[in-house]
Chain A
Amino acid sequence: QIQLVQSGPEVKKPGESVKISCKASGYTFTQAGMQWLKQAQGKSLKWMGWINTNTGKTTYAADFTGRFVFSLETSASTAYLQITNLKNEDMATYFCARWGFAYWGQGTLVTVSS
């Protein structure tokens, strides 16, 4: 069955970086793009963008340019989200979701605290 398994919770200080993984299984990784979404505590979902898992081409929403990077390790069927120079407002749960949104990772909580 199709599964997306994300890496565990992270606690970081402002200014640090974090890299979240999303490992896919149960399907051919390169046949469906991977989306990334942010959900702050008690808030709705924000679409961050997506990565074409076949070509590596990335598309970022306007609010997620500059410090946010999507990448792939195709041989490991894994997508990554890296956030650099973390700010307090980056504190949230981050989800990966396969193109079409029928399959989601379990979410990764990123806590930013000095």
Chain B
Amino acid sequence: DIVMTQSPSSLAVSAGETVTINCKSSQSLFGSVRQKNYLAWYQQKPGQSPKLLIYLASTRESGVPDRFIGSGSGTDFTLTISSVQAEDLANYYCQQYYDTPDTFGAGTKLELK
């Protein structure tokens, strides 16, 4: 199985800051046929189901604010949240869907400083 290593595990931020969450896969997620990286990012608030933010590493899901930016390729990926707002405090997970089984990172908890 592809192992997804996420860092940091938690992050304390103040409103208005820019934060970066990293995700590293144990093998490349780049598909040569479509020339895309099969990586997604999710936000999950307590007691809620995960919400898809980013897919194909950098494509924002409809309705997701443009302060959420996905980047990276191959094995190294980043979710950047610019000008963090209170409503962004949540857990964030990366997921690879390049190969079965889909696997997720351990998560990053975004907390208020």
CB pair A62 B101 closer than 8 Å:
yes
The answer, among A35, A45, A49, for a CB contact under 8 Å with B104, is: A45
CB distance from B97 to the nearest CB of A (A): 8
Of chain B, the residue at the smallest CB distance from A46 is B104
Q: Give the bracket for the number of chain B residues in contact with chain A.
A: 10 to 19
Of chain A, the residue at the smallest CB distance from B51 is A104
Residues of A within 8 A of B55 (CB): 100-101
Q: Give the bracket for the number of chain A residues in contact with chain B.
A: 10 to 19
CB distance from A101 to the nearest CB of B (A): 5
A44 and B50 contact, Cβ closer than 8 Å, known pairs A62-B101, A101-B40: no
Q: Report the separation of the CA atoms of residues A106 and B95 in the bound assembly, to the nearest whole angstrom.
A: 19
B35 lies within 8 A of chain A by Cβ = no
CB distance from A47 to the nearest CB of B (A): 4
CB distance from B55 to the nearest CB of A (A): 8
